[in-house]
Structure 1
Amino acid sequence: MPGRYLAVVDRAYRGGPEVQFCDLLYLARGLHRQLGGLDVVLRGSAVTFAVDTNPLPRLRVGARYLDLPDPRRSLRALLAADSAVSVDEPALRALGLTPDRVLPGVVCRDSASLTRDWPDYEGVWFL
Structure 2
Amino acid sequence: MAERDRVLIIIEKAYRGAVEAQFVDSLYFIRELNRQMGDLKPPDPQGGLDVYLRDFAVTYALDRPGPPAVELSGQNIDTLPDPRATIRALISEDVTVLADASDCDHFNRSGTALLSGVRRIAAEDMTAQWPHYRHVWFF
Is residue 118 of structure 2 the alignment partner of residue 109 of structure 1? no
In the other structure, the counterpart of 2:44 is: none
SS of equivalent residue, structure 1 residue 4: strand
Contact 2:15 2:21 in 1 (8 A): no
1:23, distance to aligned residue in structure 2 (A): 1.4
Flag as ranges the 4+ runs of structure 1 deviating above 6 A. Answer: none
Question: Over aligned residues, Cα RMSD in angstroms?
Answer: 2.1
In the other structure, the counterpart of 2:130 is: 118
In structure 2, runs of 5+ residues without a counterpart are 41-47
* Alignment-mate amino acid for residue 50 of structure 1: A
Aligned length: 126
In the other structure, the counterpart of 1:88 is: 100
CA separation of 1:3/1:63 partners in 2, compared to 1, >3 Å: closer, same or farther?
farther
Partner deviation per Cα, 1:57-91 (whole Å, 9 max, x = no partner): 12333344261211111011110111100000101
Partner deviation per Cα, 1:25-47 (whole Å, 9 max, x = no partner): 11111111112322100000000
In structure 1, runs of 5+ residues without a counterpart are none
In the other structure, the counterpart of 1:11 is: 13
Larger radius of gyration: 2
* Alignment-mate amino acid for residue 75 of structure 1: I
Is residue 32 of structure 2 the alignment partner of residue 30 of structure 1? yes
TM-score, normalization by structure 2? 0.80
* Alignment-mate amino acid for residue 7 of structure 1: I
Identity of aligned residues (%): 39
Contact 1:17 1:68 in 2 (8 A): no
